[in-house]
Amino acid sequence: MAPPLLHIRDIALTFGGTPLLTSAELQVMEGDRIALVGRNGSGKSTLLKIAAGLIEPDAGERFLQPGRTVRYLPQEPVLTGFDTVLDYVREGLAPGDDAYRADYLLEVLGLSGDADPSSLSGGEARRAALARTLAPEPDILLLDEPTNHLDLPAIEWLEGELASLKSAVVLISHDRRFLENLSRATVWMDRGVSRRLDKGFRHFEEWRDDVYAEEEREQARLAQKIRREEHWMTYGVTARRKRNMRRVRELADLRDKARSYRGPQGSVTMSATEAEVSGKLVIEAKSISKSYGADPVVKEFSTRINRGDRVGFVGRNGAGKTTLIRLLTGDLDPDSGSVRLGANLEMVTLDQKREHLKSEDTLMEVLTGGRGDTVVLGNETKHVMSYMKDFLFQPEQARTPVGVLSGGERGRLMLARALARPSNLLVLDEPTNDLDLETLDLLQELLADYAGTVLLVSHDRDFLDRVATSVVVSEDGGIWREYAGGYSDMVAQRGEGVTAKRIEKTQRKSDDAAKKQKPAPAAKAPSKSKLTFTQAHLLKTLPETIAGLEKKLSSLQSRMDDPDLYSREPQKFARLSDEITKLQGELDAAEEQWLELEMLKEES
């Protein structure tokens, strides 16, 4: 068997008197695709830095095959000391590496090589660091949250790029779909110890639950054994004056083992403080448009959002997702069209940039608003220390300044503050950033049970699939379209997903090469069809969609035909009426869209 490219083992590291790693191991073989997972604070990033040779552990060994190259992507890159972004990226290249690859990666990630590194935003700095890490095509890639600050096209491009590389890859990410698509092995950091599963992340959660269940069974067996030994100590020696000292020592060892057991890290406890119920209509937009200069950001967009809807907004960075939400919530006036807000709305916004957190404020001040030591949750009050524990903060962190919190801790703090406020409309802008997978699970459950309405901006495809009831996606030229279901449903209805920039660039290079190799072709005849691929696909699939809606309507209407339904079950009658109204609206929209496409086809 070939030796590993990289092997760190028996790693131990203590921070501030608290053991972070006690017996950690990471082995990277040729072609490995490893998902490194664990709760926030479990030591994932630290282990990756040890693997990269950036941190010296208290104990343990690190072996790297001679002549092998390693590149590490940090969460917070430092770009100081370089005149341009291109200089920063090229500095990571080794002799013999393709210098053009640095230019290619900067272009595909939407960055200018001539830019001053000090002028980059946090997200742009992360993308520059990603280009620097990938440019050399090293033997081993160690990537800490590579999808942070990337939009959907860039994430899908990165998936394809990593899948095509020969490099072994170790990934830390909160993006489930990203991990599922790329990983073939999983290393789990838990209570200072690493465990390895030679299967991809798709199998991790079932395996983790089995491990926890076996631990519980083992603790139950240990407790039972201790009870038996204690019974013997009390009653088994009454007839003798001399005790069996071996069994006394064994009992002491069993008690020490039981006391030293560290169970799974606590879970976040989430619940949203709900305001009074809003009206059935939450937001109605009719033909709203917004432009900045000559560039339309939103063009003739209409929608109706009802109570309980959970609407996802997706698109490239800079497409105007935040602008569209500000228009819909009344924070920004459209250039044309109208927005009507429903009655009794109580809106709470979670800002992805954490701009509403002051670095000098303490954790307690953020949660209490600087007033006392209690948090008001609707009609109830809760001591701030207890509320902090719900979000995995320790009591000693109460006076910790926000500025020293990690990204994951700031994310949990923003969630804790937002969910404490009464609301019936949640506006969440990239809420998944820096949250661990278990916290994401709980946030998904909370949103699924939330009685109010949710507007959600996210690049996390799995999160959108689990949460959204519809998805609004950006098209070219300020056009936004709404599709029923989650992200995968949107892709199925469109006939295609978001297009990665790499594809566009490859296509341009192919076109340029064709022009150089062949004489200019004769002018082509006008296209016989004005329908795009997506429109042609819709024209083909809409009749089936319409038939399905008609069938559902017919079924609901037959249940409504019961003359005693209203008097017998008024709530069921109201629910059926609402469903019929919603379905009828969807049917009307589908028929209108089909008619427009048929007319466009006939004009061709």
pLDDT tens by residue, 312-357: 999 887 788 889 999 999 999 999 999 999 998 889 887 655 556 7
Max mean pLDDT among 110-124, 190-204, 267-281 falls in: 190-204
Position 201 scores a pLDDT of: 94
Q: Provide the pLDDT confidence category of residue 522 given band limits of 50, 70 and 90.
A: very low
Report percent pLDDT > 90 for the chain: 33
The DSSP output letter for 436 is -
315 among annotated binding-site residues: yes
Q: What is the per-residue pLDDT for 219?
A: 76
Write the pLDDT tens digit of every residue in 160-180.
999 999 999 999 998 999 999
What the block records as the tokens of 447 is 């949103």
Task: Assign 3-class secondary structure to 265-286.
Answer: CCCCCCCCCECCCCCCEEEEEE
Is 321 among the annotated ligand-binding positions? yes
- pLDDT per residue as tens digits for the range 561-585: 776 776 677 778 778 777 887 888 7
Does 42 show up as a binding residue in the annotation? yes
Strand pairing category for 310-314 and 453-457: parallel
pTM: 0.69
User: Is 39 marked as a binding-site residue?
Assistant: yes
In which element (H, E) is residue 224 found?
Answer: helix 204-235
Neighbours of 291 (CB within 10 A): 14
| Mean pLDDT, residues 24-48 | 91
Q: Residue for token digits 């009507």?
A: 340
Q: Is 344 annotated as a binding residue?
A: no
Q: What is the mean pLDDT of the chain?
A: 81
Annotated binding-site residue? 342: no
What is the distance between the alpha carbons of residues 563 and 504, in angstroms, rounded to a whole number? 59
Q: CA end-to-end span of the chain, whole Å?
A: 64
Task: Consult the annotation and say whether 433 binds a ligand.
Answer: no
The answer to whether 132 and 109 are in contact (CB under 8 A) is no
Least confidently predicted of 197-201, 268-272, 504-508, 539-543: 504-508
24 Cβ partners below 8 Å, 6+ apart? 8, 11, 12, 43, 47, 60, 189, 192, 193, 194
Confidence band, pLDDT 50/70/90 cuts, at residue 269: low
Please indicate whether residue 563 or residue 540 has the higher confidence score (pLDDT). 540
Which residues make beta-bridge pairs with 140? 70, 168
Distance CA 28, CA 48 (A): 12
**For residue 157, pLDDT beyond 80:** yes
How far out from the chain centre does Cα 193 lie?
25
**Residue 44 annotated in ligand binding:** yes
The residue that leads in pLDDT, 295 or 495, is 295
Question: Is 319 labeled as ligand-binding?
Answer: yes
Q: Tell me if 320 is assigned to a ligand binding site.
A: yes
- Asked whether residue 43 is marked as a ligand-binding residue, the answer is yes
Quote the DSSP letter at residue 25.
E
Residue 316 is assigned to a ligand binding site: yes
Domains of the chain in start order, with CATH, are 6-69+138-206 (3.40.50.300), 281-494 (3.40.50.300), 528-603 (1.10.287.380)
Phi first, then psi, for residue 92 (nearest 5°) are -80, -5
Q: Are 361 and 414 in contact (CB under 8 A)?
A: no
CB 61 within 8 A of CB 50: no
